Amino acid sequence: MKHFLILSTIAAFGLTACDTAPTPPSDAPAWLSVVDKTLVSGNTSVVLGSDGSVSGDGIEGVWEEREGKYCRTLTKPERFAGTECQVATLDGDQITFDNQQGRTSTWTIQ
The pLDDT, as a whole number, for residue 10 is 41
| pLDDT tens track for 33-62 | 999 999 999 999 999 999 999 999 999 999
User: What confidence score (pLDDT) does residue 16 get?
Assistant: 36
d(CA 20, CA 50): 12
pLDDT tens-digit map of 100-110: 888 899 999 99
pTM of the model: 0.73
Sign of CA dihedral 35, 89, 23, 41: negative
Confidence check: pLDDT of 69 > 60: yes
Query: d(Cα 52, Cα 10) in Å, to the nearest integer?
Result: 9
Does 21 reside within a domain?
A: no
- List pLDDT tens digits, range 27-37: 789 999 999 99
Q: What residues make up the domain containing 11?
A: 2-16+27-109
**Residue 63, domain member (yes or no):** yes
> 104 lies in a domain?
yes
